[in-house]
Amino acid sequence: MNTEKRPKVLLLVTQDTKEEEGRFLRHTLEDAGCEVIHLDPSVRRTVGGAEISPEQVAGAAGKTIEEVRALGHEGKCQAVMIEGTLKLALELHAKEGLSGVLAIGGSMGTSLAGIVMQQLPYGLPKLIISTMASGFTPPFIGVKDITMHNAVCDIAGLNSITTEVYRNGALALAGMAHGYSPAVAMGKPLVLVSTLGTTEACARRVRKTLESEGYEVMVFHTTGTGGKTLDAIAAERDVACVVDMSLVEIVDLLNGGICSAGPDRGKAAVQRGLPVIFAPGNCDFIIAGPIEDASARYPGKRYHVHNPALTAVRTEEAELAGVAQHMAGLTAEAKGPVRFFVPLHGFSNHDSPAGHIHDPSLPPVFARHLEAAVAGRHPITRIDAHINDAAFADALVACVHELTGRAGAQHG
């Protein structure tokens, strides 16, 4: 805990609709030993008392508050105030060094807070008390470490529930702010790895081996958000290599599965020119919902009920050919080195002799389609092993060494 000075906390509250709640949060933060900088992005009226006024927010976006109000459209007004808030928040953090950000709001306030928080660094404490926290949260969180705290009641004054909810949220943020210390770069080459539990044995061996050899390794769970997060970090950080060995989000993109990460999945690293290693981990299945839904949407397929909420639907040659074509297109204009590794004995735990949708005939079929689609632009290595065998993990590690120019120890 920093005992020399109070941690600076940015408070995002529109006082034109939430004046009472804003005062309560401010007092709670100050009583908890924080220095509060209140940024008020209100449109309807200026209450006063905030360190950063609505007039300043509008001005940062190149307008007067009167011009914003004259727009007469809440969406257009908010767009201006988001622009100004984001600019001022980033400038404030660069100048003052924030230790936390706290916001409260309904859908509008949560949208503004989410956009601002998504542009602030990982690790900086970020918390939104929101009426949206018990519902649809991905647009507000994105791929950042944002905490959402359910407001329970509408944000309309204080009552016996909301006083406790708001106090808890403010105290949680204050505690994080007091303990916050910006992470110091480890000074190690950073490797990003994708996986699911069904390829965990491979990912674990890759991670442990690389860490023992002086790399920093970040692992991402590819159920939609994980792949997006990997891509976001690949776009903005100093990354030595990407080992993208779980492509199920691309399978789901192409086949209507529930864990698609969107059409840009995997593009960031290849477009930036980072060294990238791809492997078809978890391409043996589409992730669908409950078995009743899965069997209706994908009739005549082979299924594995992973749990009551999720069903693995076996991919066949047509789906695997589609993945091969997609990966060839994704890497066609890569600005850095790309390598493909294909395990010939199976792509996941499900696709193994102990699994429930194992088909040993299909990995070589995928390899042939990939070779035809890539047409020699990038090396493709077939490995006579299952993806979770040590031999496959070690082949990936050896390729990391090659692409990063670092020699590694031999592992048996």
Whether residues 214 and 174 share a domain: the answer is: no
Cβ atoms 158, 164 nearer than 8 A: no
How far is 52 from 56, CA to CA, in rounded Å? 6
Whether residues 125 and 205 share a domain: the answer is: no
Among candidate residues 150, 117, 159, the one with its CA nearest the CA of residue 20: 159
Cβ atoms 65, 77 nearer than 8 A: no
Query: In Å, how far are 6, 90, 170 from 121, measured between CA atoms?
Result: 20, 10, 20
Whether residues 162 and 294 share a domain: the answer is: no
Helix or strand or coil: residue 278?
A: strand
Whether residues 163 and 281 share a domain: the answer is: no
Cβ atoms 27, 200 nearer than 8 A: no
DSSP 52: B
Among candidate residues 181, 190, 155, the one with its CA nearest the CA of residue 12: 155
Question: What pLDDT tens digit does each residue of the chain (412 aa) get?
Answer: 344 589 999 999 999 999 999 999 999 999 999 999 999 999 999 999 999 999 999 999 999 999 999 999 989 999 999 999 999 999 999 999 999 999 999 999 999 999 999 999 999 999 999 999 988 888 899 899 999 999 999 999 999 999 999 999 999 999 999 999 987 767 899 999 999 999 999 999 999 999 999 999 999 999 999 999 999 999 999 999 999 999 999 999 999 999 999 999 999 999 999 999 999 999 999 999 999 999 999 999 999 999 999 999 999 999 999 999 999 999 999 999 999 999 999 999 999 999 999 999 999 999 999 999 999 999 999 999 999 999 999 999 999 999 999 765 444 3
Q: Which residues pair with 286 in a beta bridge?
A: 313
In a domain, 207, yes or no: yes
Report the phi/psi class of residue 111: left, alpha or beta, with left for phi > 0 and alpha for psi in -120 to 50. Answer: alpha
Whether residues 168 and 237 share a domain: the answer is: no
pTM for the whole thing?
A: 0.85
In a domain, 3, yes or no: no
**For residue 296, what are the contacts with CB-CB under 8 A and spacing of at least 6?**
none
Whether residues 110 and 250 share a domain: the answer is: no
Domain boundary among 179, 202, 230: 179
Whether residues 225 and 112 share a domain: the answer is: no
Whether residues 166 and 214 share a domain: the answer is: no
Query: In Å, how far are 104, 196, 224, 315, 389 from 108, measured between CA atoms?
Result: 10, 35, 25, 41, 50
Task: Provide the domain limits for residue 39.
Answer: 8-179
Whether residues 93 and 138 share a domain: the answer is: yes
153 — phi, psi (to 5°)? -95, 165
In a domain, 98, yes or no: yes
Q: CATH number, domain at 44? A: 3.40.50.12020
Q: CATH number, domain at 247? A: 3.40.50.12030
- What mean pLDDT is reported for the chain? 95
Q: Which value, in Å, is the radius of gyration of the alpha carbons in the chain?
A: 25
Total domains in the fold of the chain: 2
**For residue 198, what are the contacts with CB-CB under 8 A and spacing of at least 6?**
281, 282, 348, 349, 350
| Helix (H), strand (E) at residue 391 | helix 390-404
How far is 369 from 180, CA to CA, in rounded Å? 50
Cβ atoms 116, 146 nearer than 8 A: no
In a domain, 285, yes or no: yes
Whether residues 197 and 87 share a domain: the answer is: no
Q: Write down the H helix ranges in 129-224.
A: 138-141, 162-179, 200-212
Domain boundary among 118, 144, 179: 179
What is the per-residue DSSP string for 296-327? Answer: HHSTT--EEEEETTEEEEE--HHHHHHHHHHH
Domain boundary among 160, 179, 198: 179
| Helix (H), strand (E) at residue 82 | helix 74-96
Q: Could you report the per-residue pLDDT of 169-217, keeping only the tens digit for each?
A: 999 999 999 999 987 767 899 999 999 999 999 999 999 999 999 999 9
